[in-house]
Amino acid sequence: MKEQLAINGGNPIRQLPYPKWPLFTQKDKDDLAAALDDGRMTSITGPKVKEFEDKYAEKFGAKYALATSNGVVALHLALAALEIGPGDEVIVPAHTFIGTAIPVVMANAIPVFVDVRLDTFNIDPLKIEAAITDRTKAIMPVHLNGLCAEMDTIAAIAKKHNLFVIEDACQAHGGKYKGKTAGTIGDIGCFSFFEDKVLTTGEGGMLITDSPQYYELARCIRSYGEGLVTSIGERKYEHVKLGFNYRMGSLNAALGINQLDRLEEMVQKRNSNAKYLIEKLSGTEGVITPKEIEYCLNAYYKFVCRIDRTKISVELDKFIEAIKAEGIPATPRYPKPLPLQKVFKDGCGYGKTDCPYGCDKYGRKPAFFDGSWPVAEQVGRDAFVLLIHPSVEEKDLDDVANAVNKVAANFIN
């Protein structure tokens, strides 16, 4: 006999609060206090941001690292550093966070959406070449949920067509692809340090590259397009490029330095939790757990499952609400593909304009209006997130597995 769901009046699996994330150490708090006492709160006046950049570059094996105010602007700076702009196209996956595609429009370029793989949720490399035109300048693969995209194939396509590769590694700190660290395989790698990320500074981002040319241009644009200076506290007020204030502050950097020391430990705990939960859910009818790729180290930013539609037909929202009623946090995972979002579907530009879509340098119908993205649409209907961050223990995951098992059993066709 099936156990009655909590959403229908049954007893919930869990009544305790779920472990929170992020957690900060006493050293984090002490270093924040020290930064406040120092009083030099910016990358212009103080050394903390540069210390974080240097340590990040060393940790990731990159020649240069540039701290930013968030991950979206890191991607925008990457596009600017590669001088991608009006009339250009950039290939992005159809299923990802909107922060991947918005920077392309910010650069006055056109995002061209490519469908994803059903098993990994990452961009399908077999569908990339069909999306390449004479306007294409870059491919922007996303290492979604912590799992690296198929970078060997993507790099080969990029080389064949003379395209840049910008890695959106905003969800994959510490992840690896065939021994190579996520973010170091393409021309530029970008990261986000948003509150719940694998590595967090509250808000913040990082751009890494081995190219001095891309680094110097991005560094200039990051701070009002000012002519570059080498000494902290020195400013010439000479503006040579159109730039922005995309800088990181000292408090964020202080947190980042400490988080970086714990990165391997945090990724290891996420993998341990993922392995445990996959095993606990292995016999659950109607639920497909994340695919494990033997040559990838998944950073497991999110543990994303799918409803098996051969076994369960209930709508995703109802399935998720039933899990939540059992005392377990669960959310959908990007339910609407990016090309079907109003901002892209309607060609929303800056202010009252239709730029970049109507830009005379482009002169054609935006490519993403012409296709369809059936896999991204299916993922949006079926995928849901369970939380396995480092503060979660096996006893918590037992509750997660019991709740998912209970809900799935009630909805089996």
Domains and CATH numbers, the chain: 26-262 (3.40.640.10)
pLDDT digits (tens, 9 = 90+) for 177-195: 999 999 999 999 999 999 9
Q: Mean pLDDT, to the nearest integer, of 57-73?
A: 98
pLDDT grade, residue 229 (50/70/90)?
A: low
Residue 144 has pLDDT above 90, yes or no: yes
Dihedral, CA of residue 48, residue 50, residue 52 and residue 53, to nearest 10: 170
Q: Is 313 exposed, middle or buried (0-12, 13-18, 19+ CB in 10 A)?
A: exposed
Which of the four pLDDT bands, split at 50, 70 and 90, describes residue 370? Answer: low
* Separation of alpha carbons 188 and 363, rounded Å: 28
Using the CB atoms, write b or e for 96-122: b if 16+ within 10 Å. bbebbbbbbbbbbbbbbbbbbbbebbb
Neighbours of 219 (CB within 10 A): 18
pLDDT band (50, 70, 90) for residue 26: very high
The confidence score (pLDDT) of residue 350 equals 77
φ, ψ (nearest 5 deg) of residue 269: -65, -40
Q: Output DSSP code: residue 257.
A: H
The predicted structure's pLDDT at residue 230: 66
pTM given for the model: 0.96
**394-411 and 316-325 are packed helices; what angle lies between their axes, rounded to 10 degrees?**
130
State residue 233's pLDDT score: 66
Asked whether the beta carbons of 328 and 14 are under 8 A apart, the reply is yes
Q: pLDDT of 154-177, one tens digit each?
A: 999 999 999 999 999 999 999 999
Q: What is the pLDDT of residues 307-319, one digit of tens each?
A: 999 999 999 999 9
